[in-house]
Homo-oligomer: A and B are copies of this chain.
């Protein structure tokens, strides 16, 4: 099969991957093989090609790619609920930049009725990351306030939709008014004063909301303090990205006086049972909301599979609003 392989000498200064022929994987017991029809691009893929975010043990470290959609092409022994021809998608710890991928059956997500198979690769990572942050880690409830920082990221736009769908209210931040206006269509209730990087964001947010219950944080660094300042008593910030820096001078006194919490999470290095858990969240709760139109994919650009290097450049340029996908 064809797959994108990270070059042996690839590093941060000169990230390199190349399209190559490699062995088509064979499904073992409980596994299926999927012929991939689309792949979602994630910032983590760019980091992996730079050598900064290696694949977890047990997954081919040479092939990037965390989410895919496609059609079941072969099934191993003891596969009980799927057959050749099923339309599926999924979140994997790696190796999705390929024509075929093998995965455990219980990790498969059915493509929701009404969603085009070519768009489906845009769903797993963003919606399950946002779901896990808001509801599993954050415990967000109907009627509460969530803040998403920035709301104009892929995870951010998924989070905004999920927050509204769950009866909660959303504050979104962004670097620009224009991007906020574009995201507004997804249900931003308060956006006026929440342009990131400006002074006074925390005051504006707490003034308008009375304090945030759950913040989905992708900026972090020193600026995590702004988020902490928006949290109400017992509020919590769930860190899913560190675009603003891997270290931060944190105001622990503010954390203590407000009995606030910080929890960090990643979707990638989770054990099998956790990956299955979130896949079943999608099958059992989110799929019907896509079919009914309450949730929808946000796709910015599509590239041909062979043009993955251009797709990475587009993501690095940071001008997209929504998902970048590869189609096969």
Q: Measuring CB to CB, which residues of chain A are less than 8 angstroms from any residue of chain B? A: 220-221, 224, 236, 239, 242, 245-253, 255-266, 269
* Least Cβ–Cβ distance between A273 and chain B, in angstroms: 13
25 A-B Cβ contacts within 8 A? A220-B252, A224-B252, A239-B252, A239-B255, A239-B256, A242-B252, A246-B251, A246-B252, A246-B253, A246-B256, A247-B249, A247-B253, A248-B249, A248-B252, A249-B249, A249-B250, A255-B262, A255-B264, A256-B265, A257-B269, A259-B264, A259-B265, A260-B264, A261-B262, A261-B264
* Least Cβ–Cβ distance between A68 and chain B, in angstroms: 23
**Residues of chain B with a CB closer than 8 A to A251's CB:** 246-247
Please indicate which of the listed interface residues A221, A239, A252, A262 has the most CB atoms of chain B within 10 Å of its own CB.
A252
Contact of A242 among B256, B259, B262 (CB under 8 A): B256
Report the separation of the CA atoms of residues A239 and B220 in the bound assembly, to the nearest whole angstrom.
20
Instruction: Considering the complex, give the chain B residue whose CB is closest to the CB of A236.
Output: B263
- CB-CB nearest 4 A-B residue pairs: A246-B253, A261-B263, A255-B264, A256-B264
* Least Cβ–Cβ distance between A184 and chain B, in angstroms: 29
**Residues of chain B with a CB closer than 8 A to A260's CB:** 263-264
Please indicate which of the listed interface residues A249, A253, A261 has the most CB atoms of chain B within 10 Å of its own CB.
A261
Instruction: Considering the complex, give the chain B residue whose CB is closest to the CB of A217.
Output: B252
* Least Cβ–Cβ distance between A247 and chain B, in angstroms: 6
Contact of A252 among B221, B256, B269 (CB under 8 A): B221
